Amino acid sequence: MDRRIGRRALIVGGTVAAAGTVALARDELRRLWWRVPGVEKPRKEGEVDYRGAEWVAASPANWRRADRPEDYGIDMVVIHVTQGSFAGAVKVFQDPGHGAAAHYIVGKDGRVTQMIRELDVAYHAGNRAYNERSVGIEHEGFVDRPQDFTNAMYEASARLTAGVCARYGIPVDREHIIGHVEVPGTDHTDPGPHWDWDRYLGLVRRARTARA
């Protein structure tokens, strides 16, 4: 067999290779176009960041549109307690006069509702810098009622937090998973003395390992 390559074959082959390179470059640009300053990531109405969550939108007055983690790095999860019912928390987060909302609410029965995209800055911590760098998770119940912190709630919340930590490379420890009470300048006491941090972090680590 004659293995010599003719000029026409080189031209055709080079054209095909060049076309392939252009196609790959175009595909890369399609995936990365939102990294250009001033250009937002693609969004779909009702899309959730956690697969097990139901979407219910919070009032736009209770959060700020952003492009995290490109504009603000996410390195923290803040744990809250609603001091009320699940339905009550959803209602106040939909109220534009409330002035606050968290990204997620976890119920005593383990259900999870997402009300703000993780892309965006939720007004949940009472501290602008902490709002910008964190994901806020509310838990149905009262700080002085340990019976409100059910097995279903702990386990569902741990899976949720493990997912957040995996997405943003957040260490599973008490420096990066904190209570609302630990946010500088806040006057809140949640999640309170009955929240079992050792148990919770153990569940988060287990869920994180299962994901890996």
CA 175 to chain centre: 18
Residue 28 has pLDDT above 70, yes or no: no
pLDDT in tens, 145-200: 999 999 999 999 999 999 999 999 999 999 999 999 999 999 999 999 999 999 99
pLDDT at residue number 90? 98
Whole-angstrom distance, CA of residue 12 vs CA of residue 161? 53
- For the chain, the domains span 1-39, 53-211
Q: Which of 169, 192, 196 is nearest to 181 (CA)?
A: 192
Q: What's the pLDDT score for residue 26?
A: 55
Beta strands (DSSP E) in 2-64 are 53-55, 63-64
Res 5: pLDDT = 43
Q: Does 1 score more than 70 pLDDT? A: no
Q: State residue 189's pLDDT score.
A: 96
pLDDT, tens digit, 9 for 90 and up, residues 57-105: 999 999 999 999 999 999 999 999 999 999 999 999 999 999 999 999 9
* C-beta separation of 190 from 181 below 8 A: yes
8 A C-beta contact, residue 114 and residue 48: yes
Q: What pLDDT sits at residue 3?
A: 44
Q: Does the structure show a pLDDT above 80 at 25?
A: no
Look at the domain 53-211 and name its fold.
Answer: Lysozyme-like (3.40.80)
- Cβ atoms of 137 and 80 within 8 Å: the answer is yes
pTM of the model: 0.82
- The pLDDT score that the predictor gives to residue 192 is 98
Q: Are 84 and 8 spatial neighbours (Cβ–Cβ below 8 Å)? A: no
Say which DSSP state 43 is in. -
Residue range 94-139, pLDDT digits in tens? 999 999 999 999 999 999 999 999 999 999 999 999 999 999 999 9
| For range 26-34, the mean pLDDT | 47
Q: Which residues of 30-51 are buried (b: 16+ CB within 10 A; e: fewer)?
A: eeeeeeeeeeeeeeeeeebbbe
pLDDT mean over 23-41:
52
* Longest Cα separation, the chain: 87
CB 103 within 8 A of CB 157: no
At 39, is the pLDDT very low, low, confident or very high (cuts 50, 70, 90)? low
